[in-house]
Structure 1
Amino acid sequence: MAHTESVRVVFVDAGTEEEFARTELAPGQLPDSFEHETRLDLGGEPWAVVRAEPPTAAQFRRSGSLVLTLRRIQSMDPQEMAYSLPTVFDPLPATEESTGPGEHLVIHEDDWRQAEMVSRRLAGQVEAEMRAIHEVLQQHARVIGEGASPVRVFDRIHLRRTPTAPLSTEVSLRRLSELLPAGGRPYAGVRFRDDPGRVVGSFALASDPLTVYGQAQGDLVTTLCLVPSPDAAAESAAGLEQAMREFDLLLADWCTGRLLDASAIGAFVNPA
C-alpha cells in the first residue's frame, strides 16, 4: 500500500479535549511510534503526548492523518520553589537490613540531625554553618496561607556538611542512659520513613515524651540528637543538662539557627 508524502496532524489539548492546532508534516518529521512516552516542542513550549491515534508511523503513513492529544508540561520557576525547612544535613547515614526484634524510632529523612549535641570545641565549625542558616532565615523566608495556619517556607535551603563528627569528646551511651529518667524504653534503632533498613549503628531512647537518638560504636556515642516534645518532664531536661555539663556539649538547634549551652536546655525541651 502506498504511503502518503505528508501527514495531517491535529493537536488536541488533554485538559479541554479541544483541538488547538493542525499542520501538515512529512513522515520523517514524526517519530516511528508514540507507544512510549513522547515529548514534543511546540512554539518553544514542551508538551507530553497523552494519546496518539494511530500510535505508529506505519499506520499514520498509510492513513495520512494523526491526532495527538497533548498535555502541557509546566516548568517550575526556580523563584517559586519553596522548602519547608531552612536546612538539612547531607549526606544521610547508611542503612542496613534490620534483622533483630523490637520497634524502631521512625523519623523523616529531613529531620536527621536537626537538633543535636556538639562538642564545645567544635563551636567554630557550628557557627560557620549557623551564619549560612541565618542568611536563609532572614533573606529567603516568606509566609504563605492566612488565618490560623500560616506556613513559613523558604526559597533556598542550606545543606549542612559539617561537623562530620559532632562529638569530639567521649560520650558514653551507658552513662547517658543513666542520666535520663528511669523507666524509658530503648528502641531497636532508627530508620527513615521511606526506608525499611536500620541506620547503621543507631540507637534511640524514649524517656517520657522526650526521645534521644543517634549512632554509637559500642558504648561510644558518635551522634547524639533530640526529638523535643512540649510535654517533656523537667527531670528529662535535668538529665540532659547534666550530660551536657559532664561531656562539655552544646545543643545545635539548626532550624532556628541557635547554639545553646546547658543552662538553656530546659527552655528548649519544654518551651512552655
Structure 2
Amino acid sequence: MAAESVRVVFVDAETEAEFARTELAPGQLPDSFEHETRLDLGGEPWAVVRAEPPTAAQFLRSGSLVLTLRRIQPVDPQELTYSLPTIFDPLPPAEDSTGPGEHFVIHEDGWRQAEMVSRQLAGQAEAEMRAIREIFRQHSRVIGEDASSVRVFDRIHLRRTPTAPISTEVSLRRLSELLPGGGRPYAGVRFRDAPGRVVDSFAIASDPLVVYGQAQGDRVTTLCLVPSPDAAAESAAGLAQAMREFDLLLADWCSGRLLDASAIGAFVNPA
C-alpha cells in the first residue's frame, strides 16, 4: 500500500550531515531519481547525488526517502576558463554505428589539434596561428606553481580553416608503408561520447604514436597525429619522409606553431 506522504531527509554531500527534513505528498516527488535531478530548496539549486531508494515505487511503499544533495554554485561568466586555446569547428559527421573492429577513440576537442597542412595552404594556416597567438597574449594566464602550474584561457578561438587541409595527393597506402612495420590499422575513429564512427575515418598505431584522419579511398584528406613521449625515432623519421614527399607542414594549433619536416622529431617525442 502506498504511503499518503513521504518523509524526506536531506543530506549535504560535502559534509554528509543531515540539514533538513520534511513530509511531501507523492505528487511533489518525481517517479525516479535514477537520472540527473535538480531541486530548488529555499530558492537555491541543488543536484541530487544519491537517492535512497531511487524510485517512487520503492519510497512510496516505505514512506521514507533520503536525498544526498550537492549545492550548485552559480558561475560568473567572467570566471569561465578553457584548457585549450583553440578547437576546430564543425566536427565531421559520424555514421550511425561503428561497425566491427577496434576504433581509435578521441575526445571531440582533440580533433585536428595537430595536423598536416599542404604547404600551398600555409597562408591560411598562418592567419589562424595569428589568432591563436593573440589568445595566448591577451586571454590566458598561468595558475598554480612549479610542476602543478597550468595555463588556462578565458577565450577560445574556433578554427574554421583550412576546411580541406591537404590539397595535394597523399596516399594512405604510402603513408602506412613509411611507418615502422606498416603500422597497426584501427577500424576508424570514434568520438568519446558518440556511438558512431567518423565518416571516412582511419587511424594507424605506430608504437605509442597514432596517426589518424579521413580518406576517400587511398587519398588522404585529413591527416592528424597524437604525439607520445615514448614514440620511436623510426616513427618520426617516417612522418618526416611523408612530409617531404607530399610537401606538408605540421600545424601544432595548440601552441600556435607551423613546423616543417626538420622539427617533427621534437614534436612527436617532446621528452
State the TM-score, normalizing by the size of structure 1.
Answer: 0.74
Query: Residue 210 of structure 1 aligns with which residue?
Result: 209
Match of 1:184 in 2: 183
Matched, 1:222 2:221: yes
Q: Quick check: 1:253 aligned with 2:238?
A: no
Partner of 1:149: 148
- Unmatched tracts of structure 1, length 5 or more: 1-13, 19-32, 51-70
Task: Show structure 1 runs of 4+ deviating over 4 A.
Answer: 14-18, 33-40, 46-50, 71-74
Distance, in Å, in 2 between the alignment partners of 1:226 and 1:82 is: 26
SS in 2 for 1:153: strand
Instruction: Measure how far apart 1:236 and its partner are.
Output: 0.9
Q: Distance in 2 between matches of 1:185 and 1:200?
A: 20
Give the alignment of 1:124-135 within 5 angstroms. 124-135=123-134
- SS of the counterpart of 1:252? strand
2:120 partner SS: helix
Change beyond 3 A, Cα 1:248–1:77? same
CA contact (8 A) 2:98 2:197 kept: no
User: Aligned partners of 2:182 and 2:260: how far apart in 1?
Assistant: 26
Deviation at 1:139, TM superposition (A): 1.6
Partner residue, 2:117: 118
Q: Residues 37-67 of structure 1, C-alpha deviation per residue, up to 9 Å, x if partnerless?
A: 7879x9xxx74499xxxxxxxxxxxxxxxxx
How far apart, in 1, do the equivalents of 2:122 and 2:241 lie?
19
Call closer, same or farther: CA 1:17–1:95 in 2, change over 3 Å: same
C-alpha distance in structure 2 between counterparts of 1:113 and 1:254, whole Å: 8
Look up the match of 1:198: 197
One-letter code of the match for 1:160? Answer: R
Residue 100 of structure 1 deviates from its aligned partner by 3.3
Following superposition, the deviation at residue 138 of structure 1 comes to 1.5
Structure number with greater Rg is 1
Match of 1:239 in 2: 238
Tell me, in whole angstroms, the C-alpha distance in 2 between the residues paired with 1:217 and 1:259.
Answer: 26
SS where residue 116 of structure 2 aligns? strand
Deviations 1:110-155 (A, max 9, x none): 1000000000010111111101100111221112233531221111
Measured in 2, the distance between the counterparts of 1:98 and 1:188 equals: 12
For residues 72-95 of structure 1, give each alpha carbon's deviation from its aligned partner in whole angstroms, at most 9, with x where no partner exists: 864322220110000000111111
Query: 2: CA distance between counterparts of 1:98 and 1:72?
Result: 38
Take 1:243 and 1:187, find their aligned partners in 2: how far apart are those partners?
20
SS in 2 for 1:182: helix
Q: CA deviation at 1:212?
A: 0.3
> Within 1, Cα distance between the matches of 2:45 and 2:112?
40
1:8-58 CA deviation, whole Å, 9 max, x = no partner? xxxxxx97958xxxxxxxxxxxxxx97687879x9xxx74499xxxxxxxx
1: CA distance, partners of 2:46 / 2:225: 48
Partners of 2:237 and 2:93 in 1: how far apart? 32
Q: Deviations over 1:199-223 (max 9, x none)?
A: 1110000111111000001001010
Counterpart of 1:238, as a letter, is A
Q: Which residue of 2 aligns with 1:66?
A: none
Bigger shift: residues 90-99 or 161-170: 90-99
- Deviation sequence 1:147-202 (CA, Å, 0-9, x none): 53122111111011111100011111011111111152100001011112111110
* Contact in 1 for aligned 2:98/2:190 (Cα 8 Å): no
1:1-272 to structure 2, matched below 5 A, reads: 47-48=44-45, 74-98=73-97, 100-146=99-145, 148-182=147-181, 184-272=183-271
Quote the sequence identity (%): 79
Q: Taking structure 2 as the reference length, what is the TM-score of the superposition?
A: 0.74
Partner of 2:34: none
